[in-house]
Every structure is written in C-alpha cells, then in structure tokens.
Amino acid sequence: MSFVLVSLISMLVVLGILVLVHEFGHFAVAKLCGVRVETFSIGFGKRLFGFRRGETDYRVSLLPLGGYVKMSGELPTEATTGDPREYASHPRWQRVLIASAGPAANFLLAFVLMTLVYMGRNEVPDYLSRPAVVDYVLPGSPAARAGIASGDRIVRFDGLFKPTWEQVFVHSVLNLNHSVVLLVDKHGQQKEVSLPVRAPRDPDDFSLGDLGLTPVEQRRPLKIAVLEPGMPAAEAGLKAGDAILSVNGVELHSLTSMILYLQQNGPKPVQIKILRNGTPQTVVVRPESSVDANGKTVYKIGFAPEPPSSHIERLSLAQAFSRSVHDNVKGSTLILDVLHRVATGRMSPRTMSGPIGIARQTGHIVALKSWAPLLSEMSLISLNLGILNLLPIPLLDGGVILFLLIESILRHDLNEKFKERVYQAAVVFIVLVMAFGLFNDISKLPAIVRLKL
C-alpha cells in the first residue's frame, strides 16, 4: 500500500476517533441535562449513511475533518418554541457544561491513552533523560560560531535549568528563527552564549543537526550492527561487530554525529579507526553520494549501528496515571506556549500543521508497526483538539462559553443580530485559518519543496 494511501487512511481513522470522542462528550452531557439532540454527525456536509434511534439521527457525512452535535433550538437563527427540552430553554450553567464537555472528553482521552502507553512496554532511550552533553559540533555551524564545542554540557537553555536533550529539542523548535540564550559548562568553566536557531525550509524537518550539534547518545563507541551490501563500508572490509573508535581522529557517539560529519566531509575518503576482537585497526572508506527526497546531496557509507542504550518502562496503573497527568499538563502548557509565541510573532505559524501534516505524521508512525507511538500521537492531537476548541473564538466551544459567561454577568441574552454578525465574522476567520493551514501543509510536501530549490 502506498505511503499516501496509508497516511490518508490513518489520518481519517485517528481524527475520526478523536472527533467521535469530542462530540460524544457534548452528546452525553446534553442528554444528561435533558436537551433533545437531533443529529450526531461525524463529518460535515451531505449525509452519507447512518441510522436513526429515538429522536437522534446518527450519521457519517461527506467531509470527514470534524463533526458536530445538533441540539434542538441551539442555533441563534432558530425560532424557539419554549419547549423545555430545547437547548436555549436550559439554564446557562447547563449550557456551559455541555459546551465544555467536548474538550473535557478530549483531555480525558489524552490521559487514558498515555496511561495505556506507560502501562505497556514503553522503550525509552537513556540519553533523552540525561544531561545535555554535546557530542559533535559542525565547523562553521551556528553552534560552532556561538562557541559551543564537543564535550560541553548545557547547563541552562531558554530559561530551563539542567535541561535534557528532549527539552533542548522542544525549546529549539519553539524558538525557530530566533536566538536562544544558553549557559554551557566547558569542563568546569561556565560561559553564556547566544545560539541562533534557523528554521529549515520545512519546520517539521527541524533537527538539532540544523544547529550543527548532536547529543552524546551513548558513552561507548558506535558499534556496527548491519552492513549494506555493495556500499562503501562493506567494500572497505568493515564487519558487523566492529566498534568505531574515531573518524579522521574525531570520536563520535551517535549515528546522527556520523551523518553530520560525513555531510561536512563530502566525497573525501575518511580514515575510520575500529576495534575488532580487541585489536585496533584503521580502514579507509570513500563515502557514496545520493540525492534525498528534498533534492539535497547526502553522503553515506552504508551501515546501521547498534541502537543506543534504552530502558523499558512498564508502570503500575497508579504510576502510569500519575505520569500521564504530569506529561499531559506539561504538554498543555507547551501547546499554550506555542499559541502565545505564534500570536506574538515569536514563532512562525509555518511550524503548525493541518490535516495533511497530521496525515504525513500518522503515516510515518503507522509504518513503525508499534502501537505506543501511535497512541502517544493520538494523545497529543487530542490534547491539541481540546485546547483549540476552548479558545474564545465564536463557533468554537470556547466562544460559546464566553458568550454564556457574558450573558450571565449581564443577566440577559446578547442581541441576536449582534451575535449573528460575530458568528459570520468567525466563519470567515476560521475558513481563512483552515485555508492557511492547508496551504502551509501543501508547501511542506517533498514535491513542492523540490520545486522551490
């Protein structure tokens, strides 16, 4: 099955589940409050299929990116009859509960999914939680010009004290096209430096290698696990089990460092010092060039190393739930930080993804053939969906809640004509945001990126 088809199907399934949970939150609380629900729809537009049970039409509609629950007397344009089961006939506090229930359902789903991940077999690379010690710095890169060198330990990064590499990566993305102030420990001496974080053509492809630095992923040398037949490493006589002590005299402790070094070295031969059966040897290898999906020339020698050390986490229900709550609260704070940075111009909106971006991401994750990354991604998207729907924008749940709170303070309903105009403006705004998101996603597609080169 092609990657495009896998991505499309996986995105529709993931969004379908998240929308179903979101709308079920509205539906369940509306029913509990005694509101008549006319329609429960996954998708918008023309009804494709479904069934009617009692007073509710359960349907799947043509446009799959979203969904809605239609309650009797809900829309401002509807004429109300005074029926006690109409939405508008219920007290405002109940209507606030109904509006809040969708995002709350998404938050609950995010907590449940991450709890399942932590209760399962969750493999975590050790280096992600270790102190951020620099392995290799590319000469002439932003990191090198900032004065960062191999062996430096990052003591403070963007206000975070003693950050892990995971935190360094996240806060680098938050500061794309801006400079980050960091404090590095240079073998006992501390120095404050400013690191410019340049955004790549596609912000989704950002890596720490773009800054010219890589983390120490393991304390031992790289060890060859698999050789690619016919590639320079195999042709030069390297074997599985060989430990790479250095490349042109430079000690490297991650595959990322090796890749970065080879790109800097180009087509020139490299002297690789290895340890084989306790005996050091030197092998000369000439890297082979190829062109990647973005039209960029890359150099490689054709081997896969043994993965860095990791540990398996399998927590109890109580521990997993506690970790899930902690991580989801941290994730919510991060999402709000991203929205604030985008709104204030400190972060490019190009870093944000729409449906196509989600499809690409879920397509890659499904290819991993592991349920844990998929559940983690679903949890993150569910968290985003809950927070975005709580933004005080009319037509979103947050906008509904805002109007209800204002009306509660004023103790009377707002003018319907005024609300209608606000809703019309909100429709235009949301359509423009969706159009921007779609354009943003399309501009990041590999084929479009190649056209820009």
Pairwise CA distance, residues 373 & 379, whole Å? 10
The three-point CA angle 419-73-392 to 5° equals 40
Give the contacts of 239 (CB within 8 A, at least 6 positions apart).
224, 227, 276
CB 228 within 8 A of CB 309: no
* Share of residues in the chain with pLDDT > 90 (%): 46
Model confidence pLDDT, tens digit, residues 249-298? 999 998 889 999 999 999 999 999 999 998 999 999 999 988 876 677 88
23 catalytic residue (yes or no): yes
Give the percent of the chain with pLDDT over 70: 94
Confidence of residue 448 (pLDDT cuts 50, 70, 90): low
Indicate the class that CATH gives domain 124-212. Answer: mainly beta
Residue 452: pLDDT band (50, 70, 90) is low
| 333 has pLDDT over 80 | yes
* pLDDT score of 447 more than 70: no
Residue 381 pLDDT exceeds 60: yes
How confident is the model over 7-46, as pLDDT tens digits? 888 888 888 899 899 999 999 999 999 999 999 998 888 8
What integer pLDDT is reported at residue 67 of this predicted model?
83
Each residue of 147-189: pLDDT tens digit?
999 999 999 999 899 999 888 998 898 888 889 999 999 988 9
Residue with tokens 């998207």: 381
**What is the DSSP track for 110-154?**
HHHHHHHHHHS-EEEEGGGGSB-BEEEE-TTSHHHHTT--TT-EE
Q: What does the alpha-carbon distance between residue 374 and residue 364 come to, in Å, rounded to a whole number?
A: 10
Query: What pLDDT digit, counting tens, does each position of 393-410 carry?
Result: 988 999 999 999 999 999
Q: What is the pLDDT of residue 420?
A: 83
Structure tokens given for 102:
């969708």
Count helices and strands (H / E) in the chain: 12, 17
Considering the chain, tell me which residue range(s) the CATH 2.30.42.10 domain(s) occupy. 124-212, 217-298
> What amino acid occupies position 390?
L
Look at residue 57 and give its three-state secondary structure.
strand
- Going by C-alpha positions, the residue among 368, 241, 259, 370 that lies closest to residue 306 is 241
- pLDDT for position 378: 93
pLDDT tier at 417 (50, 70, 90 boundaries)? confident
pLDDT reading at 390 higher than 90? yes
Q: What is the pLDDT of the chain when averaged over all its residues?
A: 87
Cα separations in angstroms, 283 against 235, 236, 244, 276, 432: 11, 7, 10, 11, 58
Closest CA relative to residue 243, chosen from 305, 308, 307, 151: 305
Q: Give the orientation angle of helix 3-32 with respect to helix 355-366, to 10 degrees.
A: 110
* Section 378-387 average pLDDT: 94
What are the residues facing 161 on neighbouring strands? Answer: 156
The pLDDT of residue 78: 64
Taking the domain 217-298, which CATH number applies?
Answer: 2.30.42.10
> Is it the case that residue 139 has pLDDT exceeding 70?
yes
Residue-level pLDDT at 42: 87
pLDDT of 161 reads 92
3-class secondary-structure state, position 155: strand
79 — pLDDT class (breaks 50, 70, 90): low
Q: Which one of 168-182, 197-211, 231-245 scores highest in mean pLDDT?
A: 231-245
pLDDT of residue 131: 86
Confidence label for 345 from pLDDT (cuts 50, 70 and 90): confident
Mention every residue, 6+ apart, whose C-beta is less than 8 A from residue 196: 142, 146, 178, 179
CA pair distance 156, 184, nearest whole angstrom: 7
